[in-house]
Structure 1
């Protein structure tokens, strides 16, 4: 993406100081910025509206609509939006620590109390937006931002660009979207799906946090899809000998093939492993 020049954002440049790029996409850039009067910092996502297709523009509108509804300590807050000179500005809460994936790479794995503290925060966010009839559809470590670079950091769920609103607990034809290694069986089977797909993602994340590698992985895409369809994962490698049975039980409950039998966020938060470990960190 071409860099966005300050002359393109004249009016907003009078109100905000735009600093370094935090990340870039094909048609957007995220910059750190600060309000010149209050010094409050934000992560400003700046999108070239003229370069978006009609479908991409509709998705952006949906993302903004959803994000403006969200106000939870474990979800990145969208404070306000603005449009200028064909650019859309989304001023998100700045979360400076990085993301769970980077923390995991630096530490190899999370201890059980650390993993519990992390997944509990994610489940609390999921419970909150599920109660608002929102499905994230792309929960993964890269979309879990951290305040610090430590495994015991506060976590904030980000990137609702693929999120959809649903009619309660009704399943719908929402399409094949997400990140394959985290997709639930009903998505890869191209069946109707609903809120339980986010719980499946949480199960994959929890597995990954505890041992440092995912439950489903194949270089060949079709083989990976086949593994996901039948929930072909195991706890047999040596490192799982050091993981409690309660943790394994919760993972199985999250990675249940039948979405109607998959544990809910509320039930997961009341699982003995969460209850017994959550306050140890």
Structure 2
């Protein structure tokens, strides 16, 4: 099952060609492993940027979110729903200042292709970022926008909008 999921992720990544999605250059495989050669994002995760700096200004958040939204609009235009947009899945391309940097959306392990008008049903995502519709196991690609909203909230406030001691408690708060 994991091998099939990885193959699906690779197929999705091979379709991508956008400045705000990480590039997949090549794949290699031996008897035990599959290796993905991807674009180097030396600036690290947005999560590290958030932890290092705490809350951010509206202009900093706007720089990040504009690029994340550009990636999401692109993905949706080619029929892909990411389903796991979160801070650890957004990287900075370089170690340059945020104003001169590029935000990259990564980790397409939960991404899937969708057809407009046909609901998706697999529960997928990370608890604090998941849309209420996912918890009902009937949703469309717009769930990525909910996750973007959570990302923005955390950038501006320094903490998530829904909290709990367990994933179940967080999901109950989201409902």
TM-score bin, normalised by smaller chain: over 0.9
Which of 184, 187, 190 is residue 131 of structure 2 equivalent to?
184
Within-5 A mapping of 1:1-281: 55-146=1-92, 147-148=94-95, 150-152=97-99, 153-173=101-121, 175-190=122-137, 192-229=138-175
Q: CA RMSD in A?
A: 1.4
Larger radius of gyration: 1
Give the TM-score, by structure 2 length: 0.93
Give the TM-score, by structure 1 length: 0.59
Which ranges of 4 or more aligned residues in structure 1 deviate by more than 4 Å? none
Figure out how many residues of one structure are paired with residues of the other and give that number: 173
The match for 1:30 is: none
* Unpaired segments ≥5 residues, structure 2: none
* Unpaired segments ≥5 residues, structure 1: 1-54, 230-281
- Name the structure with the higher strand share: 1
Q: Is the 8 A contact 1:103 1:151 kept in 2?
A: no
Of stretches 140-149 and 95-104 in structure 1, the one that deviates more from structure 2 is 140-149
Which structure is higher in RCO with an 8 Å CA cutoff and minimum separation 6?
Answer: 2
The CA distance in 1 between the partners of 2:32 and 2:169, in whole Å, is 43
| SS of match in other structure, 1:114 | helix
The CA distance in 2 between the partners of 1:212 and 1:221, in whole Å, is 19
